[in-house]
Structure 1
């Protein structure tokens, strides 16, 4: 993966930590027009809450809980950036699949 520009214009390398043991992991590009903004973050959290899994999201070396709207927004995941999603628990595969679909569908936004 190539380096990305962080929220304040600096380079943040493609630094994703090693995945947690037993985690389902996907690297997902953000493709919607506004990135991981408030409404998109809320939809992300609503999706996570439907499953029995613990979700973590990483960008530029910063990891937050997938159940935190504010945490997700603090990642400043703009269009064209990539996030790493990790899930642990009985619904790990299902929640990751649902998040891949949500993000792939641009959070239901009209772009």
Structure 2
């Protein structure tokens, strides 16, 4: 299916937060950076609260701890690609639990 087929249609995907600290500041920043790489608009919903996928503070307000699920909705030309990239980011624990970023203080 061509990318332009999703221009006006929303795609959604449930994602489970699996890193040890949840969707905290650093993880939220990585989520936002990933979202901004694509030509798509992203919204994230948890327990009835919806925030923009480019808002670090909004994502943190969701209080999505380890094991919680979020619904990610994407619209736009690269909706499928952004969902795939975000799912990969979340599935690999935002690369935090393996790369020592927390110890190094990297943002």
Structure with the larger helix share? 2
Note the alpha carbon deviations across 1:40-60, whole angstroms, 9 max, x for none. Answer: 000000000000000000001
Aligned residues: 91
Q: Equivalent residue of 1:97, what SS?
A: helix
1:37 has 2:17 as partner: no
Q: 2:43 aligns with which of 53, 56, 59?
A: 56
- 5+ long unaligned stretches in structure 2: 1-7, 99-107
C-alpha separation between the residues in 1 aligned to 2:86 and 2:11?
A: 12
1:102 has 2:89 as partner: yes
Aligned position for 2:65 = 78
- Higher relative contact order, structure no. (Cα contacts within 8 Å, ≥ 6 residues apart): 2
C-alpha separation between the residues in 2 aligned to 1:61 and 1:102?
A: 23
Runs of 4+ in 1 over 4 A off after TM superposition: none
The CA RMSD measured in Å over matched residues stands at: 1.0
